[in-house]
Structure 1
Amino acid sequence: MTPKRRLLILAVAVVVLAGLGTGFVLHAASRADDRNTARRGGPGVSAGPVALTGADRVAFVNDAPGPRRSHVAAVESSDPGGARTASGLTCARFYAAKGTGVCLQSGLGLVSQTNQAVIVDAALHTRHTFALAGTPSRARVSPSGRFAAWTVFVGGESYGAAFFSTRTSIVDTRTWQLMPNLEDFTTMLDGRRYHAVDDNFWGVTFAADDDTFYATLGTGGRTYLMKGSVSRRTLTSVGVQNVECPSLSPDGTRIAFKKRVLNGASLWHEYVLDLRTLRATPLAEHHSVDDQATWLDDHTLAYALPHEGDVKSTDLWSVPADGTGTPHLLIPDASSPAPLR
């Protein structure tokens, strides 16, 4: 190859790399502009009743600065960035389905920190309260509203910590029978009964049959997708590893999940798993998503991301579930989305 040709190839490579770099910068700047535009003035927040019935609305935990921060709020699905109505119920995590809500609360008592799970009705009135063994992490309600589940950190502060311990519980909201720890269920891993001292379960998501659910098992430095049965008190591995915080699609055919992209680091990419083929598709969101994504419908996912430079505050973003498209800011200053179908 002649020196002139080498020089030409080098010049082309520099131009291509410069273009890619510019594209990434512009993409990041565009998303930062979206966040900043939403932040200027902030969303309108008014106090009022929030009902978990009806359609075409999204409930969530309000993260906008002010007296209604951490309160359960709702907006119209057609205008998710618009004015919101905030209730008097405060939650660290929240989810709802069919008029049943689960609110995980964390606060300081007279002597120590108090954590509790509050099951609420469609008007957000308390039906039952359960003490929590640790710091709130994940919450879900079955499509029928019959079962509620939650995960707490008993030790450690995040899924990115070198050592952490979780406890995941399920409650029947008809009988108030509490299954306090999924570690008490019979676990089958790769066809064999399994139990280890480092077992941790988290991120329950329910199917529509009021029995089947999915969750993550963390053990031996690996994570597995598990399929559970409430009635049989069993958990069986599906055959897929590196699955965290699963979320079952409304049609029951796919699982959204976060996949760790670098061992030992708190970096996750969002994927969707086809349960029939076990093929996983990466989504268009390139930021690290440390959340249990929510299906807004059969085609769209929502999840929380921290503000640029402000890890204490989050926005809700959405992305197509088939790996196409681009992420869009859904609801600024918000977390824990729950579509009210």
Structure 2
Amino acid sequence: MSMRNRLLVLMASITVLACVAGVAVWRAADRADRKNQVQAGGPAVRAGTVSLAAGGPRIVFRSMAWGPHRDELASVPASAPDGPRVASGVKCLRFYAAGGTGICLQAKRGAVNDSYDAVVLDSALRATRRVPLAGIPTRARVSPSGRMAAWTVFVGGDSYAGTDFSTRTSILDTRTGTLQSSLEDYAVTRDGHRVRAADINFWGVTFADDRHFYATLATGGHTYLVRGDVAARTVTTLRTNVECPSLSPDGTRIAFKKRVPGLPADAPWRLYVLDLATSREWPLAETRSVDDQAVWSDNATVVYSLPGDYGSDLYTAPADGTGAPRLLTLSALAPAWLP
């Protein structure tokens, strides 16, 4: 082939690649644009004021509904969970609130790479503290008083389903400003013996009060429910095969996801509840795999997310294992029940 023909082939190849790249960019832009357009049949959303202060039973969550308020914190009355939403303008990937304090894990979109922050919110959703994160946000919780906040990020891998992941869990005292950047600095006790291992991971904090919490510890291919002490910087294992614990409002039970043998590797979990006094556990009526840290809407009901048409939908199931799952609200994630 002559040099001229080779150049022609090269130029043609470059043109084809440029067209392919252009189509890919156009499709990505089109998808992004569609997410900004209100979809027929979706929840009604309007801009307004959202507060974390006591003001009547309501739910605040990340709205996943397509349209100009997608990913914003939104509020609905607890009595009308699938009713019209009031959107705040504050965007979060993960969120939780209690005692008038919110924790919002946010993304900052960059030209090349994204970065992430944990943002402490006051009752009016004003940012009072911002902490840079080392990875992708995945879990967030606040103690009942609103003083303590915790979050977990992925720093390697992006799913709990496999084994190739690493997490970092932090706890912040919003009153004093003290940040414990990693629970891996805590002393771990298992069966009365100190545990030291390079593969220790923590995730899924749930607070009992401003000093004590429960969380998941992983090491040696096993997961454990642990009880932690913020002041003593210690955790103690309680039982195995517990992930993403969530303490009931009365402090007597923990909802969690449990790996069940025989299920697919990418969908291995079922939701369970554990009675802390008796150590008895039982499955909930939900038979689908749930990769979420559930919340309690009250002492009788567990709420969790499952994939939906626009990202995520919220479902409920009775905490005693009876009944059947029920769709609570479409296009929502990371809810908090507020008084």
- Aligned residue in 2 for 1:331: 329
* Partner residue in 2 for 1:294: 295
Deviation at 1:55, TM superposition (A): 2.8
Query: Is residue 248 of structure 1 aligned with residue 247 of structure 2?
Result: yes
Alignment partner of 1:275 is 2:301: no
Q: Tell me: CA distance 1:281–1:40, structure 2 relative to 1, closer, same or farther (3 Å).
A: farther
Q: Give the whole-Å Cα distance in 2 for the aligned partners of 1:188 and 1:94.
A: 30
2:76 maps to: 75
CA-to-aligned-CA distance 1:148-199 (integer Å, 9 cap, x gap): 0000000001101331000000000001100000000111012110021110
Percentage identity across paired residues of the two chains = 58
The Cα shift of 1:73 comes to 0.4
TM-score normalised by structure 2 residue count: 0.86
State the Cα distance separating 1:337 from its structure 2 match: 0.7
Deviations 1:22-75 (A, max 9, x none): xxxxxxxxxxxxxxxxx8611100011100122310000000011111100010
Alignment of 1:91-240 (within 5 A): 91-208=92-209, 210-238=210-238, 240=239
| Cα distance between partner residues in 1 of 2:103 and 2:232 | 24
Counterpart AA for 2:328? L
* Displacement after TM superposition at 1:133 (Å): 0.5
Q: Deviations over 1:302-321 (max 9, x none)?
A: 110002xx4x6110011110
Q: CA deviation at 1:112?
A: 2.5
Distance 1:131 1:40 in 2: 37
Q: Could you say what secondary structure the match of 1:183 adopts? A: helix
Deviation (angstroms), 1:120: 0.3
3-state SS of paired residue (2:146): coil
Structure 1 residue 261 displacement after superposition: 1.3
CA shift digits 1:265-297 (9 cap, x unpaired): 432100000001111110011111100000111
Letter in 1 for 2:235: L
Aligned amino acid, residue 130 of structure 2: T
- Secondary structure of 2:298's counterpart equals coil
Residue segments in structure 1 that go unaligned for 5+ positions in a row: 1-38
State the alpha-carbon separation in 2 of the partners of residues 59 and 265 from structure 1: 30
Deviation at 1:111, TM superposition (A): 4.7
Q: State the partner residue of 1:5.
A: none
What's the TM-score once normalised by structure 1's chain length? Answer: 0.85
Return the alpha-carbon distance in structure 2 between the equivalents of residues 187 and 84 of structure 1.
44
User: How far does residue 145 in structure 1 lie from its aligned partner after superposition?
Assistant: 0.2
Output one character per residue of 1:221-258: Cα deviation in whole Å (capped at 9) or x when no partner: 110000000111100011x1110000000111100000
- Give the 5 Å matches for 1:7-46: 41-46=41-46
